[in-house]
Amino acid sequence: MKFETLGLNAPILQAIANAGYTDPTPVQAQAVPEALAGRDLLVSAQTGTGKTAAFMLPSLQLLTEPHPVAGRGPRVLVLTPTRELAMQVTKAAETYGRNLRRIKTVSIVGGMPYPVQNRLLKSGVDILVATPGRLLDQMQSGRVDLSRLQVLILDEADRMLDMGFKDDLDAIVAKVPANRQTLLFSATLDPNIVRLAKSMLNNPVRIEVSSQQSKHENIEQRLHFADDMAHKNRLLDHLLRDVELNQAIVFTSTKRAADDLAQDLHEQGHASAALHGDMKQGARNRTLQLLRQGRLRVLVATDVAARGIDVQGISHVINYDLPRQAEDYVHRIGRTGRAGKNGIAISFANVREHFQVKIIERFTSQPIPVATIPGLEPKARVFERNDRNDRKPGGKPRAHSGKPGGYAGKPGGFAGKAGPFAAKGGPSFAAKAGPFAAKPSHHAAQAPAGKDGWAKAGAGSFAGKRDSNSKSRFAKA
Ligand code: AMP
């Protein structure tokens, strides 16, 4: 199918062509014609499926028609759970609307200074992209008039519910015209979402896409059992030295752990920075900008901050700490394998977290093959799993061979990819990583005072140091 068959006008088609897209993704092919016909939509699609264009393209087309009522209030409102996602949606609106005249997109998110927002809102808005809390705040101050609203979009609605925005959403929806069109996008259509949809949508068309990417079949998953923090640090050090690692997001469970780990990695010569919800918006934006520009190689992040990040250079996601919720695992690993590329998602777990791993596997209906790195095998016996292919006859795990995990009775969704671990001796990244090695200016906003020099990533130094202090450092987390 071609974009030309979806009913979009010439300037939008031109912008799509300029973006380099040739064919619509499945969610776009299904959602765009229905949305153009004015229908409400209930769509289950994850990030990476092209969902942003699926709602933005028809919304932009609507804006090419004059509104019956003159005014400054927005005609399209996109609600997103996080600031990062809001920024991405704003960027998408600008990209796809670049050939349309006089379309103004404004984003209103928490953490942004009020005077700046107030100024933006005063000058008239066509598309407003907002996180619910801050929007409600601005509505209550009388700065946002939603009486002209024609399209309401809830992006990642499941996440907004998870983050406790239900009351805010209800309060916002109560203030928008009843005859608006509503497009609800969610990774899952669980009972909470269906309930929300019933209260907000009018006879919606239900679209469920199950693309290769939404099932993450383009992402090779691996699990490393770690005995303790020191072992995790050695594994991380080894992985970050892999020359096939282009850029990585390392997930920690707390903001403090993200800061500490980013700092440690920076001190060891990795172009690393932290991203979490306690950082000021300016610092978050700068960090993301460096990541997009490829000037940051390792982003150490918490779940909230990393939601929605769409950076094509991210080759690896590393779960330094397992996510608390299985659903977050899916979102985390979806940060790699963007735009049709392949990705690698590696999780660390200790023996006690074995059950958590099982919950994740049940949620995704995919086994996570266990891998080991020669010389860095776990001491503890953790292989009660059915990983027959990962066992030696004596029951001990053997080195990951790059072969699928061979879960009993399950098809190998991970087949055919040679894991870089077994074969490679872990060449020093500093020697090969081009722009990442030895450039002080590359370090992100988080550079600790007095630490802007770039140490060479000498083999073993990182692991050794982190071993010695990891106990106290992680006690803080
Ligand atoms: P999303 O699911 O909206 O986060 O989009 C994921 C990525 O796919 C983004 O980098 C988009 O630029 C890209 N994308 C969206 N639609 C298409 C398309 N039809 N063809 C190729 N890439 C696309």
Topology, domain 3-208: Rossmann fold (3.40.50)
pLDDT score, position 339: 66
* CA pair distance 152, 201, nearest whole angstrom: 10
* CA pair distance 414, 222, nearest whole angstrom: 9
* Ligand 1 center from residue 224 Cα (angstroms): 31
The CATH classification number of 219-398 equals 3.40.50.300
pLDDT score, position 145: 93
Nearest ligand 1 atom to the CA of 312 is 10
| 213 ligand 1 Cβ < 6 A | no
For residue range 67-123, what is the model confidence (pLDDT) as tens digits? 988 888 999 999 999 998 999 999 999 999 999 988 999 999 998 899 999 999 998
- Angle among Cα 284, 343, 372 to the nearest 5 degrees reads 105
Nearest ligand 1 atom to the CA of 95 is 12
Same fold, 3-208 and 219-398: yes
Quickly tell me which residue has 């995919």 as its tokens: 366
* CA pair distance 48, 338, nearest whole angstrom: 6
Q: Which of 179, 127, 314 is nearest to 306 (CA)?
A: 314
Q: Which of 31, 26, 27, 33 is nearest to 4 (CA)?
A: 33
* Ligand 1 center from residue 50 Cα (angstroms): 4
Residue spans per domain, the chain: 3-208, 219-398
Contact 357, 350 (CB under 8 A): no
| 1 ligand 1 Cβ < 6 A | no
- Angle among Cα 444, 304, 30 to the nearest 5 degrees reads 110
Atom 19, ligand 1: which residue's CA is nearest? 24
pTM score of the predicted model: 0.56
For residue range 191-226, what is the model confidence (pLDDT) as tens digits? 889 999 999 999 999 998 864 445 677 889 999 999
